Amino acid sequence: MADRIFAGVLLIVTLAYAAIAFTTISAPFQYDPLGPESWPQILSLVAIACLLVIVWKPDAIELGVAGRTWLRLGATVIMLCAYAELYEPLGFVLATILFGGALSAMLGAGGVRPVIFGVAAGGLGYLLCVTLLDLNLPEGDIFETLLAAVPRTEGAS
């Protein structure tokens, strides 16, 4: 059943892909027999054929994921999205402390260990990547505005 639903959703996407390939894409002028639309057209036909086979004869697969596992997965995805959103505003160190701590706590690290892990991952990760490997990581917008604000207030006073 899960197979059929997934294939059905993909089928809708593929039909949209095919519709664009057959109607919208076209080159204003071209010298070659195959334009930019031909290849997506061929691909969409192959994909639709495969999807129809799966919808017609799905493997009997159930996802077999328990309710609590869904909850855990959903929470992980939300945390990842939050981590992505906070990456630049809070900076790598702070965002990693929050994310690493929260995820390891949810996955079963007890007591103060999540906090230690988060701080270690954020602090050591930043030192390792920025100073040793010379990679580019966000320092954090709030720190930049704070730092920028300090001299301005000094100048005002």
Q: How far is CA 66 from CA 62, 135, 144, in A?
A: 11, 40, 44
Residue 63 in the binding site for other proteins (CB under 8 A)? yes
Site for other proteins (CB under 8 A): which residue of 15, 17, 119, 139?
Answer: 17
Site for other proteins (CB under 8 A): which residue of 12, 19, 53, 147?
Answer: 53
What is the rounded distance in angstroms from the CA atom of residue 131 to the CA atom of residue 33? 54
CB closer to other proteins, 128 vs 149: 128
Residues 100-139 that bind other proteins (CB under 8 A): 100, 103-104, 107-109, 117, 121, 125, 129, 133-138
Helix (H, G, I), strand (E, B) or coil at 17: helix
Residue with tokens 């079963």: 108
CB closer to other proteins, 39 vs 146: 39
DSSP conformation letters of 63-94: ----HHHHHHHHHHHHHHHHHHHHHHHH-HHH
Which tokens in the block code for residue 156? 């005002």
Nearest approach, Cβ of 87 to other proteins (angstroms)?
5
DSSP conformation letters of 107-136: TT--TTHHHHHHHHHHHHHHIIIIIIS---
Number of neighbouring beta carbons within 10 Å of residue 56 = 9
Residue 99 in the binding site for other proteins (CB under 8 A)? yes
Number of residues counted as binding other proteins (CB under 8 A)? 63
Nearest approach, Cβ of 146 to other proteins (angstroms)?
20
Residues that bind other proteins (CB under 8 A): 2-3, 6, 10, 14, 17, 20, 25-27, 30-36, 38-40, 43-44, 46-47, 50-51, 53-54, 59, 61, 63, 65, 69, 72-73, 76-77, 80-81, 83-85, 87-88, 92, 96, 99-100, 103-104, 107-109, 117, 121, 125, 129, 133-138
